[in-house]
Amino acid sequence: MGVFRRQLLYLTNDQLTAYQWEKGSYSAGHSFPNNETGWEDFSLHLAGSQNTPIYLLADLIEEDFQRDSLPHVLGRSRRALVQRRLSQLYRDTPYRQAIQQGREEQGRKDDLMLFSALTNAELLKPWLDAVLQRKAPLTGIYSPALLSAALIKKLGLTHDSTRASPAFPFGPARSGSEPHRASHNLLLVTHQSSGLRQSFFQGSALKFSRLTPLADHNPDTVADAIAREAANTQQFLASARLLSRGEVLDAVVLAHGEGLQRLRSVCQDSPAIAHRFFDLADAATRLGLKTPDSITLCDPLFLSLLGHVVPASHYAQPEQIRCFSLWQTRLALYILSAGIVAGALLSAGANSLEAVHHYQQSRQMAVETRLTQSQHEAIVHSLPHTVASPQNMKAAVNIEQMISRNAPAPTELFGIVSHALDVLPQIRVDQLHWQVSKKDETAEGAIDPQQPQPVPVTEDQAPGASLIGIPRKPSQILLIEGEVTSLKQDYRTALESVRLFAAELGKSNKQLAAEITRPPLDVKPTVKLTGSAGAEERDTKSRFMLKLTLRPES
């Protein structure tokens, strides 16, 4: 499929010339005469051209231009209005079109329209029949006159572009006219294989164009024809009120270098018309043609406009360019297919690469696994026989060490009491009750001092390991019951002795808390106090109770 190839058809009244356009250059033209033989040859030529877009450039004498104004309406009403006017103007041909060229400045500000048509439809019919029969993708039917608007823009001849870019490759003006001057009234004179075309522009808007056939393409003949036809056209434009009185027509002639000298001598400037000459080679260079010096006619300039860009079709009917739409659809489908396959290949490639990477990693890991397993077997074979698993041995040793370190015993608290009794001989201990606390001793959670808490283990209940120091030492409680001896109702001394005893116990270990739970005499204002004075009270004793709490170091 020739995505980048185009077939350019140049149709004149006498013949059709086919060019192959590819990558900015065109092949030698293949001409077909306008007769049955030519039509058949052309049909054969189109065989196999279903994949090459075709651009038909109709450079015909029978192209008519009409200027008119239409009320400024939009949308469907505008289309209907334009179609109605086209039907009125060009009843016998389907190849017609309209261009809006601004609006009137006065009155209703109607739209200024240019209507044009290829009036001899029969001239196109055999060629288009061949194209449609071959189902070749016809892009459109184009007119050199309408393309001239694009041509003068590219050549910098328009009024607007002249102001923007004043440098032009004009040849020297014959009568001292300013070469770079832009004109509002421009007559573009081009010499093509079909003859001499004169296109009149006001600003950049085409107003009129006509093709004059030439007897031959001799430079002298062409020069004379240009001089004559330009003068005739100036008179026509003046009579058609396209040129106001006193306005100068700026005739720009695109000519081959050899004919320029002849043209300068033939084309005489007058108050009504001024001639300027544009070398075809320079124009071809500006349009990007690859061999500008070999160009002698303007045909390639118009063809290049079709080769480089795709302008909207001027005259083609929708059913005539249907194959082009299908060609575009086909192209889109092929591109989509290629994209999908490319994406799938990329995906498959990425997956394959990843799979190969995974495979290599798996192989590497298998090698590492075998090596590790062999090392493992070697170590296992070297292990000595044991009565228990290493983990059990470790656990047994650890738990024994923990028990040895944390297991509670009364020895420490008994020793502390013994030492304090040595310091305070007036204290006599009657009962020691040591026990492991069932819970962590805290300031908030002190146990009832009056009643020692039994170890919370029943016969059936499994004891908690915290009682034996796993994982940390438990708190220990020692309840001391005793009395202060050698005192006879000296409660003050007794109270002081017990306080000193508690202080002596407490200072031996900072983790040890001593609390007098029952003093020798309860002097709190909230309790009842009974006693007697003077009588010998044999039963009166200064009995007390202390609670020692040894908390484990945190």
Partner 1 sequence: MAQNKSNPKQDQAKDKSAPAMRSFMKNDFPLIRKALITLIASLLLSAVLVSAGRAIRLKQQDSLVQAQAQRNDASTGLHQAENDKQEIHDYQPAFMALRERGFVGEERRLDWIEHIKYIQENRKLLPITYEISAQQVFQIDPEEFQINDLELRGSKMIFQMGLLHEGDLLNFLDDLKRNGFYAAQECKIKRAGTELESAHLPLAAECMIYWLTLGDRVDSPEQTPQ
Site for partner 1 in 194-253 (CB under 8 A): none
Task: Report 100-159 residues binding partner 1 (CB under 8 A).
Answer: 135
In sequence order, the 6+-apart residues with CB closer than 8 A to the CB of 115 are 65, 66, 67, 68, 85, 86, 89, 90, 96, 97, 98
Q: By CB under 8 A, tell whether 348 contacts partner 1.
A: yes
Q: By CB under 8 A, tell whether 48 contacts partner 1.
A: no
Q: By CB under 8 A, tell whether 475 contacts partner 1.
A: no
The neighbour count for residue 120, using CB atoms within 10 Å, is 18
Q: In the stretch 354-393, what mask flags binding to partner 1 with x, by CB under 8 A? A: xxx-xx-xx--xx-xx--xx-xx--xx-xxx-xxxxxxxx
From the list 114-122, 167-175, 240-248, 330-338, the region that binds partner 1 by CB under 8 A is 330-338
Q: Where are the beta strands (DSSP E) in 193-326?
A: 195-202, 205-212, 249-255, 273-279
Q: In the stretch 481-520, what mask flags binding to partner 1 with x, by CB under 8 A? A: ----x-----------------------------------
Which of 35, 325 has the CB closer to partner 1?
325
How big is the site for partner 1, counted in residues (CB under 8 A)?
Answer: 90
Which of 80, 356 has the CB closer to partner 1?
356
From the list 103-111, 115-123, 141-149, 467-475, the region that binds partner 1 by CB under 8 A is 467-475
Indicate which single residue of 434, 497, 547, 549 sits in contact with partner 1 (rule: CB under 8 A).
Answer: 434
Q: By CB under 8 A, tell whether 347 contacts partner 1.
A: yes
Distance, CA of 363 to CA of 62 (rounded, Å): 81
Task: Report 520-549 residues binding partner 1 (CB under 8 A).
Answer: none
From the list 231-239, 278-286, 294-302, 465-473, the region that binds partner 1 by CB under 8 A is 465-473
Among 277, 269, 266, smallest CA distance to 222 is for: 266
Tell me if residue 100 falls in helix, strand or coil. Answer: strand
Taking CA atoms, 371 is separated from 357, 366, 381, in Å, by 21, 9, 16
Q: By CB under 8 A, tell whether 463 contacts partner 1.
A: yes
From the list 65-73, 92-100, 344-352, 513-521, the region that binds partner 1 by CB under 8 A is 344-352
Among 477, 511, 500, 361, smallest CA distance to 421 is for: 500
Distance, CA of 97 to CA of 83 (rounded, Å): 9
Among 12, 10, 28, 11, smallest CA distance to 20 is for: 28
Task: Report 406-425 residues binding partner 1 (CB under 8 A).
Answer: 407-411, 414, 418
Which of 331, 446 has the CB closer to partner 1?
331
Residue 383: CB minimum distance to partner 1, A: 6
Which of 246, 454 has the CB closer to partner 1?
454
Distance, CA of 35 to CA of 390 (rounded, Å): 109
Which of 67, 322 has the CB closer to partner 1?
322
HSE (side-chain half, CA atoms, 13 Å) at 101: 21
Q: By CB under 8 A, tell whether 28 contacts partner 1.
A: no
Distance, CA of 228 to CA of 390 (rounded, Å): 121
* 549: enclosing H helix or E strand: strand 542-550
Which of 80, 348 has the CB closer to partner 1?
348
Distance, CA of 66 to CA of 53 (rounded, Å): 31
Position of tokens 């590492």? 368
